[in-house]
Amino acid sequence: MQEPTSASTLIHQKPVTADLHGFDDLRHVIEHAAHFLPAQGPITVFVHHNTLHAFEHLPFDEGVKVGGKLFGCNAYLPEERYREKLERGRIRVEDLVAVLLHDLGEEANLEIGAFGTRFALRLAMLQFPLRTGSGTELRWMIAETDALRRFRDEVPVETRDKMVDRTRHWALQELQQGKAKNGTEKESGLFADILNSFESHTMESWSEQTWEAFVLNSLWQVCYDGVKSIKNSVVETPSTDVVMKRHRDLLLEVTQEDTDVLVHEILIRVCSSFLDQGFADWKVPNASGGLYGLFLNLYGKSFASPTRWLRQIHTEVQRLAESNIGPLESIEESLRLLGIKNSGREEFLTHSLLALRGWAGMVWQMETNAEWAPHPAPAGSLVEFLAVRLILDRLAIAHVSRESLEFTGSLDQIRDEASGRVHKEHSNGVEQRAFIVFQLAQVCGWNPQDLESLSHDEWATLSKEIATFSAMERRRIYHLAFERKYRNETLDGVILHSKRHQNSASTIRPEYQVVCCIDEREESFRRHLEECDPTSETFGFAGFYGVIMYYRGAADAHFTPLCPVNLTPKHYVVEEPLYSLAQAERRRAETRRRIGQATHQAHRGTRTFAGGLLAGLFGSFAAFPLVARILFPRTTAQIRRQFEGIVHTPGTELRLERTESEPGRGNGHIGYSVDEMAGIVEGSLRAMGLSKSESFSRLLVICGHGSSSLNNPHEAAHDCGACGGGRGGPNARAFAQMANDPRVRNILKDRDLIIPDATYIIGGYHNTCDDSMTWYDLDRIPVQHRELFETARANIDEARKRSSHERCRRFQSASLSQSTDEALRHVEGRAEDLSQTRPEYGHATNALCFVGRREWSRGLFLDRRAFLTSYNPTLDNENSSTLEGLLQAVIPVCAGINLEYYFSYVDPIGYGCGTKLPHNITSLLGVMDGAASDLRPGLPWQMVEIHEPVRLLFVIESTPEAMRRIIADNAAIAQLVNGDWVQLAVFDAQTSRVQRYVSGEFEEYDLSPGELPIRESSIDWYRSCRDHLGFASIASNSNELAGQA
Amino acid sequence: MTSELLFNILGITIVASPAALLAVFSLASLAGRPLGERSMARFTETAVVLGLLSSLVILGMMLVLDRRHVPIEIGNWVVIPDQHFHFHLKLVFDRLSVPFVVLTFILCGTVGAFTSRYLHREPGYGRFFVLYALFLLGMVISSLAGTIETLFLGWELVGLSSALLVAFFHERQNPVRNGQRVWSVYRIADAAFLIAALALHHLTGAGDFEGLMGTGPWPDGHATISQSHALFVGLLLLVAAAGKSALVPFSGWLPRAMEGPTPSSAVFYGALSVHLGAFLLLRVSPILEQSLTLRIAVITLGLVSAIFGTLTARVQTDIKSALAFASLTQVGIIVAEIGFGLRYIALIHIVGHACLRTLQLLRAPSLLHDYHTLENAIGSHLPQGTSTWDRLVPVRTRAWLYRFSMERGYLDVILDEYIVRPFVAVFRWSDSMERRWTAWLSGSDEKGSDEVPPNTSSVEDLV
């Protein structure tokens, strides 16, 4: 290979004036490729996305296949996992039958030669595990295991006996006749060989085992010969779309040397320094020069290249710097040098970006979507990233091919050179295919003598038939069957439960009402509250409660957006100490600041020379917190909180009303106008179905939620999705304050929404990790409401205790026999425990989303698997605009959560971020595996391990017409619903009728036969059970309600 | 009961409890009946508490009886009189070993409790605890070693378990590669150690530290070997210590060791393993006194490592590497302290630094949480960069230093290029010569079996 310097002379001859049009093209190609990069931004603000968002325009089954191929990830679970589910009853044979029949449609009854219908064949392939392996492995299995002596265990006894009998009958007759005639017919030639290996003269006295072995031997021989006789081209689907390999893949195959190791080592360091949000003590020199400039600057340093590889980079970087080659120009040049033709450009660039997709994605996110970060990346950073990557790529390729391949030609020939040296050892797959037929023959009872008489064409048909039902297809069917079981159970549960409770629906006014987020983690909380106190009523509404704001707490440094990610707030809200405490608070803030600065100094100081020396000498004292925090996390946390209380702001209020006309962050601009407040309150109350004055109780609790845990880089992933990965307490507080404002109520009165004067609204915050409840502005509760509040608080406390108990059943380290008090202590300990990798399970197991009145789902045990959105169709207009507004947010948000869990579960390494244990926080942006690796977006295994990957099932209380209209008018909903990224059904509460949305049509759902169990309380149903639980009616509340009525 | 007997019983208990732990864990796995998570955690707890209590009782007795040196003989395990070889196991309790063994038990115990929750439901749970027991045993033996061969035994166990823990996630490439790197560096250190041990045996007739240091208990001993011998043995031991403690030029492995689960990184590379080299130097510190050259070498190596560490730590953008280099800085300082003869300070420094670093590494995943809290307290983004530094050093030098630190002083690449490459090349060449030779002898071509690529196709895709 010529030295890079000689390549440079070649470039100098090229006119330096760049072809601008070409660059536009290139930029466009790169931007297109960027869509495939992970869309996760900095981990501190964790927003759940559909991992395959880039493929959402395709139908689900197509999208997971195409996406899986591009990323090298699983589309569904591995086949054996589905088989486990089949064995454990999470998939039933009847589900397989139903799904397969639906999938095949008219082709189900297609006869495949003499082998029965296509349906029967496929069902057999699904029902029985077909083992396979490499040719060598199969040969070993044939030779060394009893594969040819014993039928497989799954084969029914009758089938086996029948096969053995028939063969015996036939063998005794035919072969002996043949022997008598002394004929050497062709067809018996094969059996003759086998017979010879068994002692054929004693045939009459063979034992049962010998006959079994004889049948299997003949069967294998027949299958093998039959399969061998057909050409490969018949069964192998011609793979026209050969994945274009990067040079690296070919070199890796030929030399076992991975150029990416060389490239990534440098690239990871450069990227993490460039993107660092303030962790490292030294800032990158010349960071303003962009990623490309940074790279040229750092690697162009003289006296800094002690090895050959680094010297090559140095030479090349100097050349680039001297001839003033920009990033786009450099990409052009790299592509040309690597010999990438125009047609293959996009694919090559995509694969080059995806080779280090975590970092590339983060560069793109920091460039396009992180203006709020301390150090966002300048525009064009991804292009610069790619330029650096390709420069390093080609240098590494040249380096490796010179060192290990001893190839010194020009770079663009390397691919041909390497492909020429690739070991072409493609097995023809005869063993594999024969072994499949062999196994199928056993379970289906195909006799060897019948198979033997098959024609060439019939063998071809069979092989082709088997080949078309590939592993991917089988997994697809399994998956559908898996979803079907849970979907049917759900719909049955909903129908039966709603029928049961149709008549007992109460008309009495509830004592108090609680509004929670739609989050499925609040399901158990609401259910237990309704159980504790049947006179309460609960609602579900997206946890930002319509308050779209930038919020800064009294002890916070910055404003945080608290609203769904697709919205940008215009309003600012701050929390301030109570006016009377302002003076004292200033002193406290100063103390906090001093302590903070000292802590920060100490934190960084321990990593320096002198500071570390000092800290090291007195470090023995660290042993006390070390031991205490690990052995007694809960107690230590309590003590720590005592100390923190000294500098904690005791009383605060929200500054919610602005005095100036324009919203903003300046003095007087903070907050909302009264009109805006009225708008927010009206929108949210109407949407959740609270618009009639008689439906209000005397106390309305608005409850935001969030989660806090220690030692958990993914902490933000447990926060409220509707608040854009923030904590929704302030939203609830703001909403309550707005709705209590008499001026707001007056405005609403004019709009025909009357909040009774007797109704008081209070905000709260539910921490889903330690199940604690924080109340806001208690001092303001009117005296006549206090007793009611005390009752409500007592019941809510009991409910959260019980809810934590229900959560604990999923934690293997929590005893199943503990009391509710112990359960609460257990979850409190979890939140404070440094060694706890599962502070909570977050959204794991989410599978359902109900949109409708609580009446029909109240008392139905949903196992914390359902998002619950309150919506009252009787109050909606004929256009269902309220529903439309709700679904515009609910469907994409819930689908995003559900699909992220789906993908992180089906491929925890590729789509998820693997196990948490070696995670290493880098650049304050994300986590790497261990010392240095690609950034790992997605969810860690510890968060998803109990998940069941099913697509979210929406059950919406509405009519098919209304839904059709909404789907037609909303492209985002249509894409998800029509592409089958979510499942959809509409429900009529009056008639308990369910209609499913199947390929664009609403189909009547028929109730499956069966009963819905009834239990006294939730705990009776879930007690001493760790696994997923089915549905049940919890009877206590309805009976009591009925009794009271 | 005489105090001698009690000392003996307690001393043996301290070593026997981790040994029993290891035996129980590995035999259970060997017998095909691996223990459950809970029972493993309980066994670990028992072993550590037993060991810790015994060492505390010994400490108490030593204080009460005013004994500064308690040797416990376990006898010669291998004796080959003709070759003048004997493998002599002996434990010593003195002012160096007792604090070190107490530290070991406290840190290992805490991390054991931490890990039993951290690794809950992890497939490698059992494997981790087997390696943990191995490590604990190694650390205890090293701390208490009274002869150089005993120390070597513990040293090897620590090395083995450390390297395997780095490669804990063996389904990924990087941990295995880095584990192998750690292992290779350890082997170099081991080789130096072994030669030093042999030399000591040769010089003094035994590996007993007592014989070597004269009669005074640590740290008052005086070496009985000559200056040149001390320099020779001391330099070898310095190489061994440098490898184990990741001093320059072996520093590259320390950040790479952060591949395992967080608690193993914390206690093994952040706290205990990395101090073992310094401990070795402390143990043989009387030798250092014999030779000024040796002391200068120790001080220089320590300071160079410390400066290297503090520079490199400043550019690290990930928490674990930053802490690894911060550890290196302190270890470098500790080594320098030993060179200066400040033995008590060095010991206090080791203990303090180990505790502090363990806490910091265990809390490493809390970084974002902590930073958020700090930002809120201060009321702005955290200040970054030191202004004095910016003022004093010109931009060009800063950029150069940045690059130098970012590349971690080029230590790894230099080792690879100028040591490993020629080394491998020589062996490849010898291998090819051997092949030719055998081919010529047998009159046939080279065997093709070496060329068969591993079968990597996934079973899923075959059907």
CB contact under 8 A, B377 and A593: yes
Please answer whether residues A561 and A569 qualify as being in contact, where contact means their C-beta atoms are separated by less than 8 angstroms: yes
Residue of A nearest to B409 (CA): A304
Q: Render pLDDT for B409-421 as a digit per residue (tens, 0 to 9).
A: 999 999 999 989 9
Token digits of residue A457 = 């064409």
Measured between alpha carbons, how far is B145 from B143 in angstroms, rounded to an integer? Answer: 6
Q: What is the distance between the alpha carbons of residues A31 and A24, in angstroms, rounded to a whole number?
A: 10
Whether the Cβ atoms of residue B9 and residue B58 lie closer than 8 Å to each other: no
Q: Does A22 touch chain B (CB under 8 A)?
A: no
**Which residues touch A201 (CB under 8 Å, ≥6 apart)?**
none
* Least Cα separation, residue A616 to chain B (angstroms): 4
Q: Closest residue of A to B171, CA-based?
A: A909
Average pLDDT over residues A806-820: 92
Residues of B in contact with A298 (CB under 8 A): 399, 402-403, 406
pLDDT at position A985: 97
Q: Which is it for the CA torsion B274, B132, B165, B31, positive or negative?
A: positive
Compute the average pLDDT of residues B11-33: 93
Q: Would strands A549-552 and A571-577 be described as parallel, antiparallel, or unpaired?
A: parallel
Alpha carbon of B448: minimum distance to chain A alpha carbons (Å): 13
The SS3 of residue A806 is helix
d(CA A555, CA A593): 10
Q: Which residue has the tokens 């996934």?
A: B458
CB contact under 8 Å between B356 and A837, yes or no, is: no
Indicate if the pLDDT at residue A68 is higher than 80. Answer: yes
Q: Answer yes or no: do B453 and A425 touch at CB < 8 A.
A: yes
Which residues are CB-neighbours of A266 under 8 A, at least 6 positions away? Answer: A299, A313, A392
Terminal-residue alpha carbon distance, chain A: 91
Which positions 352-381 of A are in contact with B (Cβ < 8 Å)?
374
Split at pLDDT 50, 70, 90, the class of A647 is confident
The angle at the Cα of A279, spanning A277 to A282, to the nearest 5 degrees, equals: 100
Residues of A in contact with B408 (CB under 8 A): none
Residues A294-310 have a mean pLDDT of 85
Which of A304, A619, A924 has the CB atom closest to B403's CB atom?
A: A304
CB A573 within 8 A of CB A655: yes
Residue B213: predicted pLDDT: 66
pLDDT at B245 over 70: yes
Of A429, A557, A609, the CB nearest to B378: A557
Does A189 have pLDDT greater than 70?
Answer: no
CA B56 to chain A, closest CA, distance in angstroms equals 16
Chain A residue numbers with beta carbons less than 8 Å from the beta carbon of B373 are 596
Q: What is the DSSP string of A847-906?
A: -EEEEE-STTTTTB--TT-EEEEE--GGGS-TT-HHHHHHHHHHHHHHHHHHHHHHHHHH
- Rounded mean pLDDT of B46-58? 96
What is the average pLDDT score of chain A?
87
Name which of A423, A710, A933 is nearest B366 (Cβ-Cβ). Answer: A710
Q: Which band of pLDDT confidence, cut at 50, 70 and 90, is reported for residue B384?
A: low
pLDDT of B361 strictly over 60: yes
B394 domain-assigned: no
Q: How far apart are CA B340 and CA B338, in angstroms?
A: 5
B243: containing domain: 3-165+179-365
| Interface contact A600-B378, CB threshold 8 A | yes
Q: Which of residues 263-282 of A touch B (CB under 8 A)?
A: 269, 272-273, 276, 278-282
- Across the interface, whether the CB atoms of A613 and B321 are under 8 A apart is answered no
Q: Which of A18-22, A276-280, A639-643, A737-741 ranks highest by mean pLDDT?
A: A737-741
B404 falls within a domain: no
Q: Who among B310, B321, B345 is closest to A931 (CB)?
A: B321
B310 falls within a domain: yes
A734, A571 contact by CB (below 8 A)? no
Q: Which of A64-73, A620-629, A817-826, B2-11 has the lowest mean pLDDT?
A: A620-629
Q: Which of A631, A813, A942 sits opposite B113 (nearest CB)?
A: A631
Those residues with Cβ within 8 angstroms of residue A114's Cβ, 6 or more apart along the chain or in another chain:
A450, A454, A458
For the stretch A995-1004, pLDDT in tens is 999 999 999 9
pLDDT at A108 over 60: yes
What pLDDT does residue A23 have? 84
Cα–Cα distance for residue pair A677/B186, rounded to 1 Å: 68
State the average pLDDT over residues A62-90. 92
Q: Which two tokens stand for residue A994?
A: 């369910």
The β-bridge relationship of strands A549-552 and A772-775 is unpaired
CB pairs under 8 A between A and B: 314
B413 part of a folded domain: no
Is the pLDDT at B73 greater than 60? The verdict is yes
| Listed residue (A641, A130, A37, A105) closest to A389, CA to CA | A37
State pLDDT tens for residues B279-318.
Answer: 999 988 888 888 899 999 999 999 999 999 999 998 999 9
**Tens digits of residue pLDDT in A360-415:** 999 999 999 888 888 899 999 999 999 999 999 999 999 998 888 888 888 888 88
pLDDT at A183 > cutoff 60 = no
CB contact under 8 A, B351 and A619: yes
Q: Is residue B436 situated within a structural domain?
A: no
Minimal Cβ distance to B110: which of A556, A627, A920? A627
Nearest to B463 among A130, A596, A627 (CB): A130
H or E element: which one contains B276?
helix B276-283
List of chain A residues whose C-beta atoms are within 8 Å of the C-beta of residue B317: 272-273, 276, 279-280, 922-923
Q: Is the dihedral of CA A596, A598, A602, A605 positive or negative?
A: positive
β-bridge partners, A920: A928
Question: Best mutation site among B125, B307, B384 for testing chain A: the one with the most A CBs within 10 Å?
Answer: B384
Chain B residues lying within 8 Å of A813, measured CB to CB: 117, 120
Of A134, A596, A623, Cβ closest to residue B378: A596
Q: Do A301 and B399 touch (CB under 8 A)?
A: yes
Compute the Cα dihedral for A206, A207, A213, A218 and give only its sign.
positive
When comparing pLDDT for B165 and A504, which is higher? B165
Identify whether B454 is part of a domain: no
Task: Give chain B positions within 8 Å (CB) of A279.
Answer: 317-319, 322, 367
> Do residue B121 and residue A79 have CB atoms under 8 angstroms apart?
no
| Inter-chain residue contact A303 with B400, CB threshold 8 Å | yes
Residues in chain B closer than 8 A to A929 (CB atoms): 169, 172, 174, 259
User: What's the token pair of residue B98?
Assistant: 């007792």
Are B117 and A836 within 8 A, CB to CB?
yes
Percent of chain A with pLDDT over 90: 55
Q: Which of A617, A590, A596 is nearest to A606 (CA)?
A: A617
Q: Which residues in chain B are closer than 8 Å to A837, comparing Cβ atoms? A: 117-118, 120
Could you give the CA distance from residue B369 to residue B363 in angstroms, rounded to a whole number? 10
Longest CA span, chain B = 81
Which of B356, B398, B459 lies closest to A133 in CB terms? B459
Instruction: From chain B, pick out residues whose CB is under 8 angstroms from the CB of A621.
Output: 352, 355
Decide if B377 and A425 are in contact by the 8 Å CB cutoff: no
Q: What DSSP letter does each residue of A78-135 carry, written as one string?
A: -HHHHHHHHHHTSS-HHHHHHHHHHHHGGGGG-B-TTS-BHHHHHHHHHHS------H
**Could you tell me whether strands A1033-1034 and A1014-1015 are parallel, antiparallel, or unpaired per DSSP bridges?**
parallel
Distance separating alpha carbons of residues B270 and B257, to the nearest angstrom: 10
pLDDT at A356: 95
- Cross-chain Cβ contact A713/B367 below 8 Å: yes
Rounded to whole angstroms, the Cα distance separating A152 from A149 reads 9
Q: Are A28 and A34 in contact (CB under 8 A)?
A: no
CA angle A197, A203, A209 (to 5 degrees): 75
Query: In chain A, which among 716-735 make CB contacts under 8 A with chain B?
Result: none
What is the per-residue DSSP string for B103-151? HHHHHHHHHHHHHHHHTTT-TTHHHHHHHHHHHHHHHHHHHHB-BHHHH
Question: How far is the C-alpha of A982 from the C-alpha of A992, rounded, in Å?
Answer: 22
Q: Any idea what the Cα angle at residue A455 is, between residues A454 and A459, rounded to 5°?
A: 75
d(CA A143, CA A128): 22
Q: Say whether B376 and A556 touch across the interface (CB within 8 A).
A: yes
Per-residue model confidence as pLDDT tens digits over A513-524: 999 999 999 999
Q: Do B376 and A470 touch (CB under 8 A)?
A: no
**Among the partner residues A612, A622, A921, nearest to B319 by beta-carbon distance:** A921
Following DSSP, what letter does each residue of A315-375 receive, concatenated?
A: HHHHHHHHTT--HHHHHHHHHHHHT--GGGHHHHHHHHHHTTHHHHHHHHHHHHS-TTSSS
Q: Do B352 and A918 touch (CB under 8 A)?
A: no
Residues from chain A that touch B306, judged by Cβ atoms under 8 A, are 609
Could you tell me the pLDDT band of residue B447, with boundaries at 50, 70 and 90? low
Q: What is the structure's pLDDT at B460?
A: 40
Which of the four pLDDT bands, split at 50, 70 and 90, describes residue A178? low
- Tell me the pLDDT tens digit for each residue of B166-203: 999 998 889 999 999 999 999 999 999 999 988 888 88
- Note whether A919 contacts B402, CB cutoff 8 Å: no
pLDDT, one tens digit per residue, over A540-588 is 999 999 999 999 998 888 898 998 888 889 999 999 998 888 888 888 8
Residue of B317, B319, B360, B384 for testing the chain A interface, max A β-carbons within 10 Å: B317
pLDDT of residue B268: 79
B385 domain-assigned: no
- Identify the pLDDT of residue A505: 55
Nearest-by-CA chain B residue for A427? B462
Q: What is the pTM of this model?
A: 0.93
* Within-domain flag for B463: no
How many domains would you assign to chain B?
1
Is A272 close to B317, i.e. CB distance below 8 A?
A: yes
Q: How many residues does chain A have?
A: 1045
Residue A1033 parent element (H or E): strand A1033-1034
**A930/B410 CB distance under 8 A:** no
Mean pLDDT, chain B, rounded, equals: 87
Give A182: exposed, middle or buried? Use CB within 10 Å, 0-12, 13-18, 19+. Answer: exposed
Nearby residues of A10 by Cβ (< 8 Å), 6 or more positions away: none
Least CB–CB distance from B318: residue in A299, A555, A920: A920
Q: What is the pLDDT of residues A706-751, one digit of tens each?
A: 999 988 999 989 999 888 888 999 999 999 999 999 999 999 999 9
Question: Torsion-angle region of residue A864: left (phi > 0), alpha (psi -120 to 50) or beta?
Answer: left
